[in-house]
Amino acid sequence: MKLGFLVDLNLCMGCKGCEVACKVENEVPLGSWRLRVKYIDIGTFPEASRSFTPLRCNHCESAPCERICPVSALHYLENGIVNVDSSRCIGCAGCMMACPYGAIYMDPETNTADKCTYCAHRVESGMMPACVVICPVQANIFGDIDDDESHISRYIMEHQGAVQVRKPEKNTIPKHFYVGGGNQTLNPLAQQRIEGYSLFNNVTHLKHIGNPHESVIDRFLEPFETEEKLDNRSFVDFDNKAYEGGH
Nearest distance in Å: CB 135, other proteins: 18
Q: How many CA atoms lie within 13 A of 99 on its CB side?
A: 25
Q: Are 70 and 92 in contact (CB under 8 A)?
A: yes
Q: Is 223 in the site for other proteins (CB under 8 A)?
A: yes
Q: Is 50 in the site for other proteins (CB under 8 A)?
A: yes
**Cα–Cα distance measured from residue 190 to residue 179, given in angstroms and rounded to the nearest whole number:** 18
Residue 126, by phi and psi: left (phi above 0), alpha (psi -120 to 50) or beta? left
Nearest distance in Å: CB 140, other proteins: 17
**Cα–Cα distance measured from residue 102 to residue 46, given in angstroms and rounded to the nearest whole number:** 33
Interface size with other proteins, residues (CB under 8 A): 60
Q: Are 139 and 56 in contact (CB under 8 A)?
A: no
The residue from 23, 59, 115, 166 that contacts other proteins (CB under 8 A) is 166
* 68 or 120: CB nearest other proteins: 68
Tell me the DSSP string of 70-91.
TTSSEEE-TTS-EEE-TTT---
* 79 or 112: CB nearest other proteins: 112
* 98 or 133: CB nearest other proteins: 98
* 91 or 144: CB nearest other proteins: 91
- For other proteins, the binding residues in 58-117 under the rule CB under 8 A are 64, 67-72, 88-94, 96-103, 105-106, 111-112
Q: Are 191 and 82 in contact (CB under 8 A)?
A: no
Nearest distance in Å: CB 139, other proteins: 17
**Cα–Cα distance measured from residue 126 to residue 100, given in angstroms and rounded to the nearest whole number:** 30
Q: Is 216 in the site for other proteins (CB under 8 A)?
A: yes
Q: Which residues bind other proteins (CB under 8 A)?
A: 33, 36, 38-44, 50-51, 55, 64, 67-72, 88-94, 96-103, 105-106, 111-112, 166, 170, 172, 183-185, 188-194, 197-201, 216, 219-220, 223
